[in-house]
Amino acid sequence: MWNYEKRLQYPVNITQTNPQIAQVIISQFGGPDGELAASMRYLSQRYTMPYKEVAGLLTDIGTEELAR
């Protein structure tokens, strides 16, 4: 069973916005060379891998990319 609490790990106090740096952060996470894209590539390659040991390694790498 999951218990979902919508709270941050650390308190965040944004005093001034910076759209340029926000665009860089978003592109690193969701862009073509971002963490999410890399994670999806590792996790999708896992299903076509003929060796179980390597499939497990791809799963570990893919989930680690998501954790960043």
Q: Do 39 and 46 touch, CB atoms closer than 8 A?
A: no
Instruction: Report, as an integer, the average pLDDT of 32-48.
Output: 85
Q: Do 65 and 38 touch, CB atoms closer than 8 A?
A: yes
Q: At 1, is the pLDDT very low, low, confident or very high (cuts 50, 70, 90)?
A: low
Global pTM exceeds 0.75: no
**Mean pLDDT of the chain, nearest integer:** 83
CA distance 24 to 51: 37
Who's near 66: CB < 8 A, 6+ residues apart? 35, 36, 39
Please tell me whether residue 2 adopts helix, strand or coil conformation. Answer: coil
Who's near 39: CB < 8 A, 6+ residues apart? 62, 63, 65, 66
